[in-house]
Amino acid sequence: MDAAYLSALSALSGSAIGALASLTSTWLTQRYQDRSQRLTQERARRERIFGELIEQASQLYADALSHTSLEDPARLVPLYATIGKLRLFASARTVAAADAVMERIVETYSLPNLDFTARPSPQVQVGDFDILRDFTEACRAELRG
């Protein structure tokens, strides 16, 4: 083989390898950035829905503490819909905790009203009213993982 051909072939091979390396590097970088962006969007969506559920459950629980019956069952629909959204992507532990919150709210409607003006009895602990604790802990664990 002639030296000129060998030199030209070497130059072309080097250019092809350099271009391939550049293309591969760009592709890998873009792939990593896309994945990172998807994960960030997923986390933001979870945080938004977790927050929605906490707000809705808090409002309903406050209402349940001051009413002995659920006069308008349609008030539960937004919370039920948010739990449905949660089932699409949340862990089983988080969904179970959300279901427990819903059950506790429905149960609270059948209990006697609380008198917020009277001094609480010593048997009543503040933690007895924290129905969101397990849910928020499950959310925090899910967002970490």
Instruction: Give the whole-angstrom CA distance, residue 55 versus residue 63.
Output: 13
Structure confidence at residue 45 as a pLDDT band (50, 70, 90): very high
Q: Helices in the chain by DSSP H: which ranges?
A: 3-65, 77-89, 92-109, 133-144
| 123 vs 41, more confident | 41
pLDDT digits (tens, 9 = 90+) for 78-101: 999 999 999 999 999 999 999 999
Domain boundaries, the chain: 43-144
- Give which of 40, 42, 39 is closest to 90, Cα–Cα: 42
Instruction: Give the whole-angstrom CA distance, residue 95 versus residue 84.
Output: 9
35 close to 83: Cβ distance less than 8 angstroms: no
In whole angstroms, what separates CA 129 from the centre of its chain? 23
Q: How far is CA 81 from CA 4, 10, 36, 53, in A?
A: 74, 65, 29, 9
- Give which of 135, 67, 52 is closest to 95, Cα–Cα: 135
Find the farthest-apart pair of alpha carbons in the chain and give their distance in angstroms, rounded: 104
Whether this model's pTM surpasses 0.85: no
In this prediction, residue 18 carries a pLDDT of 87
